[in-house]
Amino acid sequence: MEIDLVYLLSLIGILGSLYYYLTRNNNYFHDKPIPSLAVEPLFGSSRRLFLKKTSFTDFIVDIYNKFPSVKVLGMFDLTSPVFFVRDPELIKRIGVKDFDYFVNHRQAFGASEDPNSGALFGKTLIGLQDQKWRDMRATLSPAFTGSKMRQMFELIVECSVNMVKHYESEIRTKGGPQEHEMKDVFTRFANDVIATCAFGIKVDSLRNTDNEFYTNGKKMMAFNRPIVLLKVLGLRLVPKLMDRLGLDLFDREQSQYFSEIIRDTVRTRDAHGIVRPDMVHLLMQARKGALKHQEQEKESETATGFATVVESEIGRMVANGEKVTPMTEMEMIAQCLIFFLAGFDTVSTCLTFLAHELTVNPDVQRKLYEEILETKNSLNGGQLTYDAVNKMRYMDMVVSESLRMWSPAPSTDRECVKDYVVDDGAGTRFTIDKGTTVFIPIAGLHMDPQYYPNPKKFDPERFSEENKHKINPSAYLPFGIGPRNCIGSRFALMEVKAIIYYMLLAFSFERTPNTQVPLQLAKGFAGMRSEKGVFVEFRPRK
């Protein structure tokens, strides 16, 4: 009987300690002069998201709309307090002007202090922090300039032409147009582009549907699996234990597979002096400190699209000859993996929703096709060039509007690295404490009628020459803001525009009985995807 009582008391003590650990911060916002969401043990303010009752995009938009008159509100992401910032001017201060207070992303998906550890996410440009991030950004930045993108553009064109030929052949073989699910189509295309541009190998995922590169990529990107949810919980609640175990967001099996590809490619190129205009070559140069910004590119690079982000002075440090910190082999592999993640999922997501909007808005599709024909005629029979695609104004308007309505990243974050006082000049003053997180609600800003009248309407004219000056640049953030914006915006935009050019040149996008209007997003915290797929028919042009 006494033993049972000891067990019972021990269990009560353990449960009490666990409850205290999970709720210890619950009163954090009580002394802040801002509204805050209700908080629950373990889930914080995010239970509906983690239990797959809502999509991540709708989750962000719903919170954004909950207190329409405030600039900042409080919430909890599991056990961590988060400042949810709604005001574009404050977002600009946090992301740009006062960047030194908000240098880092929060370490939500894995970090490791060991440079040779197998845990890779913390070594990526997204996961790195403080000076290590500054050094890596400065090292990588010259690899993403306009001149480097121009060199890689031919590889993207080759993948685009191959995709068109595949579907033309399929139509001939099957005797007519076929319905296709866009996420599958564009994931395969993006996979082939990232294979050739970032890993230096050629893959044909449309004809060889189960190739090893593609299947390993699918496994790595399957963030909706229960094991991934458990990992996310572990990385949020017990990050030091996860680090000791060498665990992060990436599965070891897939990390090892892609790591070996990079090692083999680098060894072969070093041994045989092979030079190919791709990301592996640029990373090999960056690793040696041989990449430099070209000063004359500063003016010309602004003409690549409305959504293109501008590199900060942090990224241009190597332009002035500062010493570059050597990149380890594991760090180089990690950068290739994060390029893969962005190229495989983010670009394919952008293309999926863009194809849907072109399908359900035939007038927009027709106008874009007319511009594509004009561009084709201006090339005098030659293939599409980097400069030609960047001169397509309506193409840029269409892509910019799609990124507004369906931003692949519904939010971004910053970690406060030293106490930051917010004073709105109207009596509201409080401190964002060191160690807390700031959420920047990209999807909420993009769907706010204050900045985009009738925001649910797909309207490329918002980004016309006559109208684009009306857009608040701090309320349009598909590639983030400030020095920690997306380093690959040029690459992503040229990839999206190239495949849309070639596909619309050959086919019209048509509705099928399975085309869902309006689209409903799948529930859960994983990447943005549609509830029932995005179905489109490729109909050959006459």
- Residue ranges of the binding site for heme: 486
* Residue ranges at the known binding site: 486
The burial of 298, by beta-carbon neighbours within 10 Å (0-12 exposed, 13-18 middle, 19 or more buried), is given as middle
Q: List the one residue out of 184, 189, 182, 190 whose CA is nearest residue 164.
A: 189
d(CA 475, CA 481): 10
- Ramachandran assignment for 464, one of left (phi > 0), alpha (psi -120 to 50 degrees), beta (any other): beta
CA-based torsion, 492, 498, 503, 508: positive or negative: positive
Amino acid at 440: I
Per the CB < 8 A criterion, the answer to whether 318 and 174 are in contact is: no
d(CA 506, CA 24): 60
Per the CB < 8 A criterion, the answer to whether 484 and 91 are in contact is: no
d(CA 119, CA 121): 6
The burial of 143, by beta-carbon neighbours within 10 Å (0-12 exposed, 13-18 middle, 19 or more buried), is given as buried
Residue 540's H or E segment, with its range, is strand 535-540
- 423 alpha-carbon distance from chain centroid: 31
